[in-house]
Amino acid sequence: MGISFENPKKKPNLNEKQKEIFDYMNQIVQTELKHKATTAKSKVIKQMPNVYPEEVEPRKVAVGIVYDEKNQFLLLQRYDKAHFKDSFQWVFPHDMVKENETNEDAVRRAIYEQVNAEVDIVEKLGRRRHFYTKKQLYKPDQYRHIEMHAYMCRLKSKNVKRIHHKRLLWKRFHLLFRVTWDEAMVPFIDDATDFIIRNHTES
């Protein structure tokens, strides 16, 4: 039986495991609101999936936020009709972390495979969890719940090119919201912008 988030302040009768899940999901809702991943609380709550105990463990994803000597960010327009119904949103380079692979190795691999580039990992921005709704995915059971580990990566190589994605762009941080983002990436935009501003100020 799923847990409804129609009224997040009122908890239904739950066992201890379900209470833990309920509290975590409510925290996710508040985090999404804080980072403006959606426009209103009601919209976030309606989009949240029902939570089942077997869905607690997320799939780990490594995200590489690549920037160049001009402090421009590398963006990719997704072209993935196999999994995402809205397949033309923009993302940072990323991929699932494979078994026996570190997050850092997964970041370097994803960037090389997706844009043919080598990078230096400068700093870990943080970790966030995200839930995709069933309406957003073709295979919701496989990719519904992810845990993203994001890293700031300084570009080393010059011959950057798109390989699997529809388009590749370089944009300054103040122009990032002129494209339509995959909502899972939105919280990292503020973090990446803060990183650029902080390092520019310190230099």
DSSP 111-128: HHHHHS--EEEEEEEEEE
> Which of 6-10, 76-80, 84-88, 174-178 is predicted with the least confidence, judged by mean pLDDT?
6-10
Rounded Cα distance between 161 and 116, Å, is: 6
Report which secondary-structure segment, H or E, holds 82.
Answer: none
**pLDDT by residue (tens digit) across 76-132?**
998 755 555 556 789 999 999 999 999 999 999 999 999 999 999 999 999 998 887
Please give the domain boundaries of the chain with CATH numbers for all domains.
1-56 (no CATH), 58-202 (3.90.79.10)
pLDDT of 197 over the 50 cut: yes
Which pLDDT score is estimated for 166? 85
pLDDT at 56 over 60: no
64 token code pair: 């590489």
CA distance 7 to 80: 34
Chain-centre distance for alpha carbon 70:
24
Between residues 50 and 183, the one the model is more confident about: 183
- For the chain, where are the alpha helices, taking DSSP H only? 16-34, 41-47, 103-115, 140-143, 186-202
d(CA 73, CA 71): 7
Question: Which residues make beta-bridge pairs with 168?
Answer: 76
